[in-house]
Amino acid sequence: MKIYQAYMDVQQAGFVCPDAIPYDASENRAPDAREYELFRKLHADPAIRDGGEPWGLVSWKFEHKSPVSFHTFREFCATAFEAGADCAFINPMIGNEAVYANVWEQGIHCAHTGIEKIAYFLEQHTGIQAASVSDASTFAFCNYFVANKRFWDAYLSFTERALGLLDAEAARGTEVGKIYSGSGQYERDSSASMRVFVIERLFSAFLLQQDAFRVMACVPGADDYDRKFGVRMGQLLWTLSRLKRCAVEADDLSLYKVWDKQRSVLLADWQIHIVWNLDDPFTMPLTREYQEFRNFCTELFASGQGSHERPRLQGAVT
């Protein structure tokens, strides 16, 4: 099994995990290019495509976003493939999974304006289940998955067909085409096109559409939710996620309605912003300045300062 970890520069390379294979993605900087272009490049390499080993590629921010370590994820994947899996994945956005019915609904609620029209178009032309409820076994963002050749071949074929249809709409200048080729309205990266966010959702769409592959999801436990969101919010989100999964597995509309009622309360409250921001954490801790700050504080506290009576900072506040 090979799991690559992409980075764009020297600073990002410092976050590549020891268990991962470093992958220089510095040439992959276009506004509509993310992991998918790297997937295609790796899949085109005969040594990787035909090597017989499952493989995947994840972001340099894996451990910043993921509720589990890279090592834990790698061990999960190894166990999954030994058990006969075709694909193993983890969804780092566990809070979003808990409160949204599926990845398309999340896009609508999170201001990717017009993405619902793209979802409807793909539903009409490719048969994706845009309105289906997706639980932790199929709900995924960030493309953190590892798969064998059979799965990669089918997934890339499915995705290329969907993108080909949307590219044709863009060439014709239709409403759907303009949305697809336009901005993704992403606050943290205004340069990202809508294409990026469509591709991100096609993995879940593919999982919901197929039944020929054995796919195993690395589902975090209650403690992982607590670590990511704090105890109170973590318990709420873990409970919502479990309840939604129970509703899906039992195909029980009454359970879904209970989940829907409770998640709607959170979605209507300002605290949903806490879920969004902790699920996709602020990147300040990944900067060189922050690392220097941490080192400074570590040395300061080790010297004994900070363990005394709280000082009075005369004139510190004006």
- Ordered by start, the domain boundaries in the chain are 2-302
pLDDT of 282 over the 90 cut: no
pLDDT of 313 over the 80 cut: no
Cβ–Cβ under 8 Å, residues 204 and 93: no
pLDDT of 270 over the 90 cut: yes
Angle at 75 between CA 69 and CA 77, to 5 degrees: 105
| The pLDDT value given to residue 83 | 97
Q: Predicted confidence band at 187 (pLDDT cuts at 50, 70, 90)?
A: low
Percent of the chain residues past pLDDT 70, beyond the cut? 92
Q: Predicted confidence band at 172 (pLDDT cuts at 50, 70, 90)?
A: very high
The tens digit of pLDDT for each residue in 89-124 reads 999 999 999 999 999 999 999 868 899 999 999 999
> What mean pLDDT is predicted for residues 277-306?
89
Q: Predicted confidence band at 229 (pLDDT cuts at 50, 70, 90)?
A: very high
Write down the residue that tokens 């340099």 correspond to.
60
> What mean pLDDT is predicted for residues 171-200?
85
| The pLDDT value given to residue 316 | 58
> What mean pLDDT is predicted for residues 224-237?
96
Q: Give the contacts of 101 (CB within 8 A, at least 6 positions apart).
A: 133, 134, 260
Write down the residue that tokens 């495509």 correspond to.
49
The tens digit of pLDDT for each residue in 244-264 reads 999 999 999 999 999 999 999
Sequence letter at residue 163: L
Q: Predicted confidence band at 271 (pLDDT cuts at 50, 70, 90)?
A: very high
The tens digit of pLDDT for each residue in 198-226 reads 999 999 999 999 889 999 999 999 999 99
Which alpha helices (DSSP H) does the chain contain, by range?
10-13, 35-43, 46-49, 62-65, 70-82, 94-99, 103-109, 115-126, 149-172, 175-181, 194-209, 222-229, 231-250, 253-267, 272-279, 288-302
pTM: 0.90
Q: Give the contacts of 45 (CB within 8 A, at least 6 positions apart).
A: none
How high is the mean pLDDT of the chain? 92
pLDDT of 315 over the 70 cut: no
Sequence letter at residue 184: G
> What mean pLDDT is predicted for residues 138-159?
97
| The pLDDT value given to residue 143 | 95
| The pLDDT value given to residue 76 | 98
Q: Predicted confidence band at 138 (pLDDT cuts at 50, 70, 90)?
A: very high
